[in-house]
Chains A and B, each alone.
Chain A
Amino acid sequence: MEKANLWYGDFHALKNIDMEIPENKITAFIGPSGCGKSTFLKCFNRMNDLVEGCRIEGRFYLGDVDIYGKTDVNELRRNVGMVFQKPNPFPMSVYDNIAYGPRTFGVHKRALLDEIVERSLRQAAMWDELKDRLTKSALGLSGGQQQRLCIARALAAQPKILLMDEPTSALDPISTGKIEDLCYELKNEVTIVIVTHNMQQATRISDKTGFFLLGELVEYGDTVEMFSDPKKEKTKNYITGRFG
């Protein structure tokens, strides 16, 4: 990322952010509400394109491809999966939910799809729970299951990066724990970028952490280092709970 600037209408939401995100690691973004971390996250898969009056400057590279260059947005989103704050399973069966991504990209062979569905569900550690309910509607699952299903759905497209926008904020502690375990296991296969309000969560699962405040990236570094010895006063104040 180089010099990322983003405006919503007249509101300058992100200011000059430079950042490099390491492969196959978990990177967490923390910061108070409205500081721009989710907005920044959505730049990676260009979901901000959907927001009216949103303007983006700067360059975003995935490997050495400029994602705001000539890339096809849908191709980009195939490589950069996303999990949202609230689980948003489609009103279809569990199977169809997961097969949605692959089908989008032209996989229609039943055997292949079966394989993908099973692999994705196994990756998301819910194959045993769901293997008998593949044809049931995904809306009948519990909140935690729905969210893990959404993760499995994102994995089915075999993305290189998985973006997670506060994936556990709508869930109970037990489901949250499961999702954190899942992230930990997944990081060998994908790069995960997670936005969280919960600093404990950031320390538990992430390798690197970025602290955002009012649209600026205040500090970015190794998680352990940052939480034990923050370099900036603002970071220290935030993680010790003085504000936010």
Chain B
Amino acid sequence: MKHSKAKENAVKCVFAATAIICIIAVVAIFIFLITESIPAFRKIGFFKFLFGDTWNPIASDKYDAPLSGTYGVFKMIVGTLAATCGSVVFGGTLGFFTAIFIAKFCPVKIKRLFTAVIHLLAGIPSVIFGFFGMKVLLPILGVFSSNGSGSGLLAVSLVLGTMILPTVVSLSKTSIDAVPESYYEGARALGATHEQAVFKTVVPAAKSGIVASIILGIGRSVGETMAVIMVAGNKVNYPGGFFQSFRVLTANIVMEMGYAGEVQLGALIATGVVLLIFILIVNVLLGLVTSRGKKEKSVKKRSGGFMGAFMYKIKSDRIGKAASYVCAFVTVVALFSIIAFVVVSGVPHLSFQLLFGEYVIAGAISILPSIAATFMTIAVSLLLAIPIGVATAVYLNEYTKKGSRAVKIIRGAIDILSGIPSIVYALFGMVTFVVWFGGRMSVLAGSFTIAIMLLPTVVRSTEESLKSVPDSLREGSLALGAGKVRTLFKVVLPSALPGIMSAIILSMGRVVSESAPFMYTMGSTIMPMPESFLSSGTTLAVALYKLAGEGRHTDEAYATAFVLLVIVLALNLLASFIEKKLNKKLQGDKNAVHSSKRKSFGRKKREGQREN
């Protein structure tokens, strides 16, 4: 008996330890950012760095010698702000109306199609967005621009705007759907038309959720790296017009990280700090909006719910309705044009050599090594992130008291992790993991870096599914004399399996589509087959970026984009398939496997009668 108690405690300690790993990761990242950036801030001068508008780094600058370069990121701060504003104006508006369309104007039949479209859009890797922008958008915009290339604020806004669309749409839709039906009915009962009821009653009631979705979109815009690099032009300029080449903070880090000198690296890490501060501001805003939204709701309930009705700015509901139709249409067109572009331009360039051939340096191109490297990365990073993430979620949900300090600290750590832009992880990985694993970029270093990035998703998704396991099952098992550990492994975790599986597949998708964190941890030069986990290599997304960027292998880039898209879409499909299948199994309709649903219904009925 004592033995079993010792076992219970040991297991609890293991779970607690994994939760602590999450905290350690956050603390390590912050310590790294602070210790590495402070010397740079000191040397350059805090205000000079933030508000200086000349960025002219000299790689030979050292901390113990006078500076010969100039380090001011103000132009890039303005660039990030402008790009964010532009993307929110475009993506926010489009997303807002599309969400209204899906929630309130869409015929039921195509509602599922739309939801699927938004889902797909969310899964497309940012490199593909960038690639699409580069190959399709820029030439079109180039016609209208004075500089002929089309790159600049307009292109960035369009690309980023499309990227934040899924976030804005799905969250706005959720909050519109959450508005009580009684508001709508009340408005209709007062003689309002469908459009009036939607735009003057339902949408204002969902205001806080919609604002929150846009703020999340802002967060995504600020942190996005690759897609921006591919269409911004990247000269250090103020974003003077729609077609002026400019640079954002994230781009600054990626562009120069590879060959940065001592002070320069410090300045780049300091750029990361600035970026992080932006993200923290966005998170604080988000917290304010959501907490105020909750208060507002309770006030509204007391005053009858219609107070917000006349605050809304759209004067004519008909315009609103038209706008929502148009925006929904644009969203679908955007998605299909991206997919069509990738398919149409990619398929003709698929070749045996490219897919399965041998890669010869400076000779034949093959993406087989990249595919191998991608799967190696998936394997290692999931091996790290899934056990730690699931165990942390178990600790949070099964072992701690709700609202205790430990829970708050761990949750806070996880929230922070999910807010850190991927490029900051890249910096962190480059300075820590790359050094750990022998000072050169490797699959292992890249996998460790992305594993930390995966943690928040895994923890949250697992926690959600643990919460949905009814307490009565836990009680049932405990009442049979099973200990906590047995209850957990035999009853709770199996019931939470669909959620855990979808976390796994989401994570795989993330590994496949991320690129920024790999470039300086794993390698950005396409290499022959990785020999071991300590070899460097490129994932498919990075390979695409390289092939697209160099301009010499555009055909191969098209084909790579196609392969990448196919993998991502396949993972998406797999996720929903597995979730459906597992849920069905858990719901116990095993009969349905053999006979059609209707038959099993009949059988149930008969059983009921027999019992009678």
Inside 8 A of B481's CB, which chain A residues have their CB? 74-79, 101, 104-105, 157
A50/B475 contact (C-beta < 8 A), A72-B1, A175-B611 known: yes
Contact A90 B476, beta carbon cutoff 8 Å: yes
Complex partner residue of A88 from B401, B475, B612, CB under 8 angstroms: B475
Q: How far is the CB of B235 from chain A (nearest CB, A)?
A: 59
Contacting pair B590 A140 (CB below 8 A): yes
Contact of B491 among A90, A136, A138, A145 (CB under 8 A): A90
Q: Main SS of chain B's interface residues?
A: helix
Of A88, A101, A104, which contacts B472 at CB under 8 A?
Answer: A88
A196 at the B interface (CB under 8 A): no
Chain B, 390-447, CB within 8 A of any chain A CB: 401-402
Q: Which residues of B contact A52 (CB under 8 A)?
A: 401-402
**Complex contacts, B491 vs chain A, CB 8 Å:** 90
Residues of A within 8 A of B479 (CB): 45, 47, 77, 81-82, 84, 154
Mark each residue of chain B from 579 to 595: 1 if its CB lies under 8 Å from any CB of chain A, else 0: 00000011111110000
Q: How far is it, in angstroms, between the C-alpha of A29 and the C-alpha of B393 when the chains are bound?
A: 39
Across-interface contacts of B4 in A (CB, < 8 A) = 72, 74
Q: Is the CB of A88 within 8 A of B473?
A: yes
Interface residues of A in 53-101 (CB under 8 A from B): 72, 74-79, 81-82, 84, 86, 88-92, 100-101
Interface of A is mostly: helix
Please name all residues of chain B whose beta carbon is closer than 8 Å to the beta carbon of A78 when the two chains form the complex: 480-481
Q: A78-B480, A82-B479, A153-B480 are in contact. Are A88 and B470 (CB under 8 A)?
A: yes
**Residue A139 CB within 8 A of the other chain:** yes
With A72-B1, A142-B608: A77-B475 Cβ-Cβ less than 8 Å: no
Please tell me if the beta carbons of A91 and B495 are within 8 angstroms of each other in the complex: yes
Interface set, chain B 566-608, CB cutoff 8 A to A: 585-591, 604, 607-608
Q: Does A137 sit within 8 A of B, measured CB to CB?
A: yes
Stretch at the interface among B57-65, B281-289, B482-490: B482-490
B99: shortest Cβ distance to chain A, in Å? 35
With an 8 A cutoff between CB atoms, is A111 at the interface? no
Per-residue 0/1 for B487-500: is the Cβ within 8 Å of any A Cβ (1 yes, 0 no)? 00011001100000
Contact: A47 with B480, CB < 8 Å? no
Q: Within the complex, what minimum Cβ distance (angstroms) separates B476 from chain A?
A: 4
Cα-based distance from A186 to B411 in the complex (angstroms): 49
| A28 contact set on B, CB distance < 8 A | none
Q: B586 and A91: CB pair below 8 A?
A: yes
Inter-chain contact A84/B480, CB cutoff 8 Å: no
Mask: chain A, 21-61; 1 = CB below 8 Å from B; 0 = not: 00000000000000000000000010100101000000000
Which interface residue of A104, A138, A150, A154 has the most chain B CB atoms within 10 A? A104
Residues of B452-493 at the interface with A, using a CB-CB cut-off of 8 Å, are 470, 472-473, 475-483, 486, 490-491
Residues of A contacting B589 in the complex (Cβ-Cβ under 8 angstroms): 137, 140
Query: How would residues 225 to 247 of chain B score, 1 for a CB under 8 Å from any chain A CB and 0 otherwise?
Result: 00000000000000000000000
The chain B residue sitting closest to A92, CB to CB, is B494
Provide the residues of chain A in CB contact with B494, threshold 8 Å: 91-92
By a CB distance below 8 angstroms, the chain B residues around A45 are 479
A87 to chain B, nearest CB (A): 9
Residues of chain B contacted by A154 (CB below 8 angstroms): 479-480
**Selected contact of A77 from candidates B470, B480, B587, B590, CB within 8 Å:** B480
Judging by beta carbons under 8 Å apart, are A137 and B590 in contact? yes
Within the complex, what minimum Cβ distance (angstroms) separates A237 from chain B?
34
Smallest Cβ distance from A44 to chain B, in angstroms? Answer: 11
Q: Are B588 and A104 in contact (CB under 8 A)?
A: no
Could you say which residues of chain B place their CB within 8 Å of the CB of A144? 611
- Indicate if the CB atoms of B476 and A150 lie closer than 8 Å: yes
Q: Is the CB of B475 within 8 A of A84?
A: yes
Chain B residue with Cβ nearest A140:
B588
Q: A105 CA to B482 CA in the complex, in Å?
A: 8
Contact B482 A100, beta carbon cutoff 8 Å: yes
Chain A 181-222 near chain B by CB (<8 Å), digits 1 or 0: 000000000000000000000000000000000000000000
B300 within 8 A of A: no
Q: Are B591 and A140 in contact (CB under 8 A)?
A: yes
B610's closest neighbor in chain A, by CB? A129
CA distance A175 to B608 in the complex (A): 10
Q: How far is the CA of A72 from the CA of B8 in the complex (A)?
A: 12
B5 CB within 8 Å of chain A? yes
Residue of B nearest to A93 (CB): B590
Shortest distance in angstroms between A37's beta carbon and chain B's nearest beta carbon?
Answer: 17
Q: Give A159 Cβ to nearest chain B Cβ, in Å.
A: 9
Q: Which of B77-125 contact A (CB under 8 A)?
A: none
Residues of B near A76 (CB, < 8 A) are 481
What chain B residues lie within 8 Å of A82 (beta carbons)? Answer: 475, 479
**Chain A residue nearest to B497 in the complex (CB):** A91
B591 and A90: CB pair below 8 A?
no
Which of chain A's residues have a CB closer than 8 A to the CB of B402?
Answer: 52
Residues of B within 8 A of A174 (CB): 611-612
Q: Report Cα–Cα, A144/B481, bound state, in Å.
A: 24
Shortest Cβ distance from B402 into A: residue: A52
Report the Cα distance A17→B591, complex, angstroms: 49
**A145-B478 in contact (CB<8A):** no
Q: Could you give 11 example pairs across A and B, Cβ below 8 Å? A: A72-B1, A84-B479, A90-B473, A90-B477, A90-B491, A91-B588, A101-B481, A104-B482, A104-B483, A139-B588, A140-B590
Q: Name the 6 nearest CB pairs between A and B, nearest first.
A: A139-B588, A78-B481, A137-B588, A77-B481, A88-B472, A82-B479
Given contacts A140-B589, A140-B591, A174-B611, 5 further A-B contacts (CB under 8 A): A74-B483, A88-B473, A90-B477, A101-B481, A153-B476
Q: Could you list which residues of chain B lie within 8 angstroms of chain A, going by C-beta atoms?
A: 1, 4-5, 401-402, 470, 472-473, 475-483, 486, 490-491, 494-495, 585-591, 604, 607-608, 611-612
